[in-house]
Amino acid sequence: MRTKPSTISYQDLVIRKDGLAYKKHARRTFAGSAAFYYEKGQLGMLGNLKNGQWHGLFEWFHKNGKLMNSATFINGKYSHKKMDYDEQRLLCIHENAIQVKKGASYIADKKLNGAYRVEHASGSYTESLFKNGVESGPYLYFADSGDLWIHAQMYGNNYHGAYLCTFAIEPVSNKMALSEVREYYKGEFDGPVFWFYENGTIMSCEHHKKGKRHGLSERFYDNGQLKRTISYKNDLPDGEDRSYHRNGQLWLNWFWKYTEAEEGPISLEDGTWETFNEKGELTKTYVWQGDYFETKIYDEKYSMNSYQAFEERARYVRTVNDMGGNLSVFS
């Protein structure tokens, strides 16, 4: 005679050496529904068993009653991939479960559609929207501490629009500060890009066009004092380039000339370059003339104590690759 399926508390089940579930003190394997409840009586889990094995739909719930995850079993084995949900009703998946084919994201040969929380092995996770396997819409990146690090917009799997990034300045107290603000267009910088110090003052402001620096760029000390101002063209310096000491005195007064060369675009030193100490006194000059330059070095009394005749410019020419878009001499 078969027993009528019943619902019992999960705590009343025991798993014996054969790996099957039994009701306490019973000789036969359990068949029916099992439920788990939180300490205040909220339903935490509900599932079915057959012949002492998980069989059918299992669902887990948060304390607020929202679905946490669900899975389907047949004779104790998964019949479908486990689906997890966080408290905001986002489908939770691990990054290793995602397959990418031709720019689209899949799970079990099905394109992702809807809101997902993607968990990483490091403990960090992202929350974003997918449509036909492609990320489009709001994008949030959380550190393993749970702090929000990136708030951005996506379009076609690329950043598109406003991008904000934060960092922890006091990890123990979870105090966060704004790190950078950017504008993207289809995955490339386009428009102003701001970086910030921990105290909230601007570190730098650059302008970009189609992923390259183009226009005025400024850098600042952490006290707000201007550190450097330079103009770019297609990611290379072009025109006046001025750097300042922390006290505000001019340090470097240089000039660049953007040139289309056979090997590609380059920036060449141009005109007279000047270097000053913190008192504002001239200490060195470079004069560029065609393929050569001369150097003059001055002492504290502004008397020239060293002179170097014109040398070939060739060893000072910087190409795109040599510069890497960053003049380390100014850092």
pLDDT given for residue 223 in this prediction: 85
Does 247 reside within a domain? no
Task: Output b/e per residue, 84-112; b: 16+ Cβ within 10 A.
Answer: bbbeeebbbbeeeeeeeeeeebebeeeeb
In a domain, 4, yes or no: yes
What is residue 128's predicted lDDT score, i.e. its pLDDT? 93
CB-side neighbour CA atoms (13 Å) of 258: 15
User: Residue 196 domain-assigned?
Assistant: no
pLDDT of residue 79: 61
* Domain contains 120: no
Residue 209 lies in a domain: no
C-alpha 170/C-alpha 189 separation (Å) is: 29
- Domain coverage including residue 33: 1-82
The pLDDT score that the predictor gives to residue 17 is 66
Residue 159 lies in a domain: no
For residue 169, which phi and psi values (nearest 5 degrees)? Answer: -100, -20
Would you say residue 325 lies in a domain? Answer: no
Domain count, the chain: 1
According to the model, what pLDDT value does residue 233 have? 94
Report mean pLDDT in 10-residue bins for the chain, 331 residues. 58 74 86 83 85 82 75 70 67 88 89 91 91 92 85 91 74 61 89 83 89 92 91 93 95 91 86 91 82 66 45 37 31 27
Ordered alpha helix ranges (H), the chain: 320-323
- Examine residue 51 and state whether it is found in any structural domain, yes or no: yes
Model pTM score: 0.61
